[in-house]
Amino acid sequence: MDNTRVAVVGVGRIGLTHAEILAHRVRGAQLVAVTTSNEERAAEVRRTCGNIAVYEDLDALLAGEELDAVCISSSTSAHADNVVQCSEAGLHVFCEKPLALSLQDCDRAISAARRAGVKLMIGHVRQFDAGHAGAKTHIDAGAIGTPLVFRAISGDVDPPPPSFADPSVSGGLLVDAMYHDLYISRWFMDDEVKRVYAEGGALVDPAIGAVGDVDNAVVILRFAGGAMATLFVSRTCRYGHDLRIEVIGSQGAVQVGYYRHTPVRLLDKQGVHHDMARTFPARLGDAFVTELQAFVDCVNHDIEPPVCGEDSRATLAIALAATQSMHEGRAVEL
């Protein structure tokens, strides 16, 4: 079978990661182009991915290349329009999370892909991480009994630029950063959220607060079956990129996450020291490869994506309810 010809739309931090992986590490894929209007980004793409075509925007890409699929890594506010345009062009679509910033736009994007008969897969990368997948296997096998409580911590080292943190661009902290934990909570607990309560604040970076976002937040969930969850998300985990999850069940518990990035510790008079992953590509590098391999396999073998648009819509609904709760100071029913 010929390789799937893929282009990456937007090569910011995550888009460049996807481009490098598609260029070098995914079987059955050929990275042929990217879009960016930033000359430095274009040069970085050519340095890491080879002498591929670079287009200023999506319109120029679709007019200039014969493609089979796209990887959409543009700003979140552009996701829905990009998915619709690429679907109508007959291209299979991998879209970074979340699918959109509103449920209406999710529906619009899902409908466009369905009408066009193309695959639509959403970037829920932690589902493809070996640790998270292993924990899910234990839970489904009944190793911890009935899941009762889900707990999560996730944090980036430094806040993003205020221009990205702006909720009109990224959706805000809960839609952008806590999204992964909300999705994993539904996946691990195999249940839907019925009520959410959130507290948050711009506690470290005033620039984040100035654009209407928060840099630290805590969310409490209640599931339809009675289980509960507590989630903490931060843009200011100065010690490293922290991803930890625990599920406590009626017969035991399962934990995911680690502090050490490499299995090396230094012991000296000052104490015990070790490194820690500083970025999400460092922490989840292999998972990004597995995720994109799954998408290309769906296209090449005509199988359904493991994460669909409806999965993103359901997760976004929780994130939007949590954001509403945080702003209104009350629990919100879904």
State the number of CA atoms in the 13 A half-sphere of 218 facing the CB. 4
CB 28 within 8 A of CB 5: no
DSSP letter at 190 equals T
Q: Which fold has domain 4-124+285-307?
A: Rossmann fold (3.40.50)
For residues 80 and 101, give the distance between their C-alpha atoms in angstroms, rounded to a whole number.
Answer: 8
Give the chain's length. Answer: 334
Please state the rounded mean pLDDT for residues 272-278.
82
Residue 2 — pLDDT band, cuts 50, 70, 90? Answer: confident
* Strands lying side by side in the sheet with 53-55: 53-55, 29-35, 4-9, 69-72, 92-96, 120-123
How high is the pLDDT of residue 279?
Answer: 76
Domain boundaries in the chain? 4-124+285-307, 127-284+314-333
Q: Does domain 127-284+314-333 have CATH number 3.30.360.10?
A: yes
CB of 57 closer than 8 Å to CB of 74: no
pTM of the model: 0.93
Please check whether the two domains, 4-124+285-307 and 127-284+314-333, share a CATH topology. Answer: no
Tokens 């996730």 found at: 154
pLDDT digits (tens, 9 = 90+) for 16-73: 999 999 999 999 999 999 999 999 999 999 999 999 999 999 999 999 999 999 999 9
Structural element, H or E, at residue 21: helix 13-24
Cα 314 from Cα 103, distance rounded (Å): 9
Rounded to the nearest integer, the mean pLDDT of the chain is: 95
Q: What pLDDT, on a 0 to 100 scale, did the predictor assign at position 283? A: 77
| pLDDT tens digits for range 167-224 | 999 999 999 999 999 999 999 999 999 999 999 999 999 999 999 999 999 999 999 9
